[in-house]
Amino acid sequence: MYHGWDETRTAPWADPVTGLAPEFWGRAIGWYPVALLEMFDHLPEDHKDKPRLVAILQHLLISLTEYQDAATGLWYQVVDKGDRPDNWLESSCTALYVQAIAKAVRLGYLDPKYMEAAWRGYQGVVDTLKFDENGRLVIGRICIGTGIGDYAHYIARPTSENDLHGAGAFILMCSEMSLANPI
C-alpha cells in the first residue's frame, strides 16, 4: 500500500525498478479499506474476486493494528515509521482506519477482537478534539493535501484544523462507531 506508483518509473519519487513510491502515507492507505468496504455493499456475494478482496482487506487492517500508537491510539503520518522522533500522529488516517476496522468487524470480515483497536483509535481522536471560542468543534492534526514524495516530504506537510480531509473522515468514523455502540 505504498502511496503511489509510476508505470514509467521516471517520477522523481519512483523506485526505478518497481515504480513504487518510497513511503506508506497514512490517509492514502485509509481510503483503500474504506472504499473496499463501500464496494462490498454493492458487490454480489458470489463475485469471483470477492474472496481475494476480502483477504486483502483483512491483511491490511490486521497489519495496521500493529502500527497503532500504544500511548494515544492514533496512527502516524508515515504509518510504519512511528519510531522516528519527527514523525507525528495524524487524525484523518486514524479516523479512516477506525471506520474501516469497525465496519469490517460489523460485517463479519474481521474478528470482533479488533474492535479494541477501533475503540482505542476512536478515543485517541476524541482526546485531540477541542472547541473554539464560539463553542464549535475543532478537529486538529489533519495533514493538508499532499503529493507524493520521500519521508521528509510527508513529515514537513503542514497540518490544519477542520480541513475537509479530516472532517469527512471524522464523520465516517463517528457514524460507524455509533453502530458499534448504539445510543
DSSP characters for the chain?
--S-B-TTS-STTS-TTT-B-S--BHHHHHHHHHHHHHHHTTS-TT-TTHHHHHHHHHHHHHHHHTTS-TTTS-EESBTT-TTSTT--EEHHHHHHHHHHHHHHHHTTSS-GGGHHHHHHHHHHHHHH-EE-TTS-EE---EEPP-----HHHHHT--EESS-HHHHHHHHHHHHHHHHHS--
pLDDT in tens, 26-46: 999 999 999 999 999 999 999
Residue-level pLDDT at 71? 98
**Domains identified in the chain, total number:** 1
Mean pLDDT of 95-109: 98
Contacts of 104 (CB under 8 A, 6+ apart): 33, 37, 57, 58, 61, 110, 114
- Is 25 within a domain? no
Q: Which residues constitute the domain of residue 176?
A: 31-180
- Is 18 within a domain? no
Mean pLDDT of 144-157: 94
> Is the pLDDT at 183 greater than 60, yes or no?
no
- Is 3 within a domain? no
pLDDT in tens, 52-80: 999 999 999 999 999 999 999 999 999 99
CATH code where residue 47 lies: 1.50.10.10
- Is 22 within a domain? no
> Is the pLDDT at 182 greater than 80, yes or no?
no
pTM of the full predicted structure?
A: 0.95
Mean pLDDT of 103-124: 98
